[in-house]
């Protein structure tokens, strides 16, 4: 089948390959292949690409039509936490647009399969919801795209005010169907969504689906007012402000998103752009630099170099790094040429501008610059030359495009490299490091991710007290006191004098009787 646009995997791979050599150089000599790292990676073996479609509203009530997109959003979020790779809404909208289908399109099985094949997905999640009295009932199925096989339906039900719990429970059932060995409890899935206010979530969904830009802004501002810690709403609001050229507002909005959140790198990139377009060059440099330290992609390095240059400093080193990460981008050669000429390295500047034109022969600005740079001193200045200047001094080019799929792929590659480094450790040291990472997730309230890593730590070294205590705290937050007490008992058996275990044991003993 020939796709009408590059597949998501192709776009992700092309942008991420430039990082491969950088990452591989950092691997330990005895690192194992990624295929041997499923346990240490906390779910690397489950990273299939999923397409979650909006659910079919079969209630007959237009007022709850927003749940269509809410279902896809909630399921995608839980699948990502469980180790799968769900496609973003923007990927889905991109595919629908290129297939000539409307945003509200409710596909048949055949058209859903065509959409998934176009996006190169491994599985599709399709579903619907109805009202049964005061209860919302949701049903979903997994469609195995390569084998053209549909799984058994799974259902979840509950009162409308528990809508998030309903879809979290549905996500757990679907995860278990796709991966029968998945061991995280349903309680943890449901607890993962407890921090989301339903009214704020509804405003968020309406904010990303409204056709009118002013209405989108209104709903998203209401969402962050109702739930100031709801990062996806801040991210969506920042995008709207950025697209509307409200750069000062966008920079402030993106700052609400932690660098450790799933959208942290993208938020940092667009915050850098917003600051750059606002003329706040030192702050833009800091924003791009923070992203580059985590993920040194070419567009980030280029924009950091632009911020440095516009602040009156030499950004040549950053432009060189951008070229090393992406040799085929003519704008990076253009920027390096401009920077070098500005700092009197004319011969190398001419070479870079020549390379820019080899990659993009019809670049008229580069043609004019190269012609001017090759003129002998004292000849008539071009229109681009300011009084007192010997050479034209144009502005550097900014990379405005953020390839979300490429960032996800690159981040996944870095996760695999980190897993490879872990595989080179002893079982005990690996368990310790996993437990530390899990504690970081737990501190941020990401209990599903924390449980996966604590389980991996316990599998690596069952005698590690920190793994048992961490799992106990996860189960405590999920409301499963039986499992929590079991893990604390194991910790005390391993280390009877552990004060943290003793304190947690007393805390659990004082809590109400566990559910049956």
Stated pTM of the model = 0.80
Give the pLDDT confidence of 178-201 residue by residue, as tens digits: 999 998 999 999 999 888 999 999
127 near 56, Cβ under 8 Å?
yes
The secondary structure of residue 138, as a DSSP letter, is E
Phi, psi of 155 (to 5 degrees): -130, 155
**Which of 150 and 347 is assigned the larger pLDDT?**
347
pLDDT computed for residue 48 by the predictor: 84
Which residue stretches of 380-446 are H helix?
Answer: 404-423, 427-443
CATH at 68: 3.40.50.10070
* Rounded Cα gap, residues 31 and 52, in angstroms: 35
Among the candidates 194, 222, 251, a domain finishes at 194
How far are the Cα atoms of 303, 342, 391, 434 from residue 470, in angstroms, in the given order?
40, 56, 63, 11
Domain count, the chain: 2
Q: How many residues can be counted in the chain?
A: 516
Among the candidates 194, 219, 236, a domain finishes at 194
Q: Is the pLDDT of residue 218 over 50?
A: yes
Tally of CB atoms within 10 A around 160: 13
Give the pLDDT confidence of 423-444 residue by residue, as tens digits: 888 999 999 999 999 998 898 8
Is 312 part of any domain? no
Give the pLDDT confidence of 87-116 residue by residue, as tens digits: 888 888 877 777 777 766 666 666 677 777
Confidence of residue 420 (pLDDT cuts 50, 70, 90): confident
Residue whose token pair is 């490299």: 417
Token code pair at residue 448: 């599903």
Is 432 part of any domain? yes
The secondary structure of residue 424, as a DSSP letter, is T
440 near 466, Cβ under 8 Å?
no
CATH at 449: 1.25.40.10
Is 453 part of any domain? yes
* Rounded Cα gap, residues 218 and 253, in angstroms: 14
Arithmetic mean of pLDDT, 129-147: 92
Confidence of residue 417 (pLDDT cuts 50, 70, 90): confident
**Which of 262 and 135 is assigned the larger pLDDT?**
135
Number of H helices, E strands in the chain: 23, 7
> Which residues share a beta bridge with 144?
123, 149
Among the candidates 178, 194, 210, a domain finishes at 194
Is 22 part of any domain? no
- Domain of residue 118, residue span: 40-194
Residue whose token pair is 């795209």: 145
Q: Is the pLDDT of residue 409 over 80?
A: no
Q: Is the pLDDT of residue 449 over 50?
A: yes
Is 15 part of any domain? no
pLDDT computed for residue 393 by the predictor: 78
* Rounded Cα gap, residues 307 and 339, in angstroms: 12
**Which of 403 and 344 is assigned the larger pLDDT?**
344
Give the pLDDT confidence of 220-270 residue by residue, as tens digits: 999 999 999 999 999 999 999 999 999 999 999 999 998 778 788 899 999
> Which residues share a beta bridge with 155?
139
């Amino acid at each position: 089948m020939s796709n009408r646009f590059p597949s998501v995997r192709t776009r992700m791979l092309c942008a991420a390959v430039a990082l491969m050599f950088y990452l591989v150089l950092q691997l330990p000599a005895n690192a194992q292949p990624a295929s041997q790292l499923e346990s240490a990676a906390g779910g690397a073996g489950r990273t299939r690409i999923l397409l979650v479609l909006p659910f079919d509203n079969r209630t007959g009530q237009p007022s709850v039509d927003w749940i269509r997109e809410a279902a896809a959003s909630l399921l995608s979020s839980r699948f990502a936490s469980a180790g799968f790779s769900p496609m973003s809404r923007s990927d889905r909208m991109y595919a629908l647009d290129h297939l000539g289908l409307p945003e509200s399109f409710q596909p048949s099985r055949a058209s859903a399969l065509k959409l998934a094949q176009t996006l190169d997905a491994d599985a599709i999640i399709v579903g619907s919801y109805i009202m049964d009295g005061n209860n919302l009932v949701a049903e979903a199925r997994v469609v195995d795209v390569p084998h053209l096989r549909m799984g058994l339906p799974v259902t979840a039900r509950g009162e409308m005010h528990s809508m998030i719990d309903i879809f979290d429970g549905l996500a757990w059932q679907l995860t278990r169907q796709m991966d029968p060995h998945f061991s995280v409890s349903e309680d943890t899935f449901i607890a993962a969504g407890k921090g989301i206010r339903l009214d704020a979530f509804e405003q968020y969904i309406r904010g990303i689906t409204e056709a009118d830009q002013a209405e989108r802004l209104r709903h998203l501002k209401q969402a962050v007012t109702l739930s100031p810690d709801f990062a996806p709403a801040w991210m969506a609001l920042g995008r709207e402000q950025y697209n509307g050229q409200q750069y000062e507002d966008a920079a402030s909005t993106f700052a609400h998103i932690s660098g450790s959140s799933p959208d942290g790198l993208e938020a940092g990139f667009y915050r850098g752009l917003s600051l750059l377009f606002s003329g706040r060059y030192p702050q833009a440099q800091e924003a791009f630099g923070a992203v580059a330290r985590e993920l040194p992609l070419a567009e980030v390095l280029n924009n950091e170099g632009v911020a440095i240059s516009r602040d009156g400093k030499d950004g040549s080193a950053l432009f060189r790094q951008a070229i090393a990460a992406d040799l085929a981008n003519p704008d990076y050669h253009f920027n390096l040429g401009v920077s070098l000429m500005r700092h009197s390295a004319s011969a190398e500047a001419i070479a870079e501008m020549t390379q820019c034109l080899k990659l993009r022969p019809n670049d008229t600005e580069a043609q004019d610059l190269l012609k001017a740079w090759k003129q002998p001193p004292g000849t008539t200045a071009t229109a681009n030359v300011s009084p007192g200047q010997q050479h034209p001094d144009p502005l550097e080019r900014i990379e405005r495009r953020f390839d979300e799929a490429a960032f996800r792929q690159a981040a996944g590659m870095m996760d695999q490299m980190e897993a490879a480094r872990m595989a080179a450790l002893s079982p005990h040291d690996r368990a310790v490091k996993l437990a530390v990472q899990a504690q970081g997730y737990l501190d941020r309230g990401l209990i599903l991710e924390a449980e996966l890593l604590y389980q991996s730590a316990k599998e690596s070294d069952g005698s590690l007290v920190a793994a048992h205590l961490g799992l106990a705290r996860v189960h405590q937050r999920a409301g499963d006191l039986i499992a929590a007490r079991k893990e604390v008992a194991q910790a005390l058996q391993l280390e009877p004098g552990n004060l943290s275990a003793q304190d947690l044991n007393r805390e659990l003993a004082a809590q109400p009787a566990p559910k049956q």
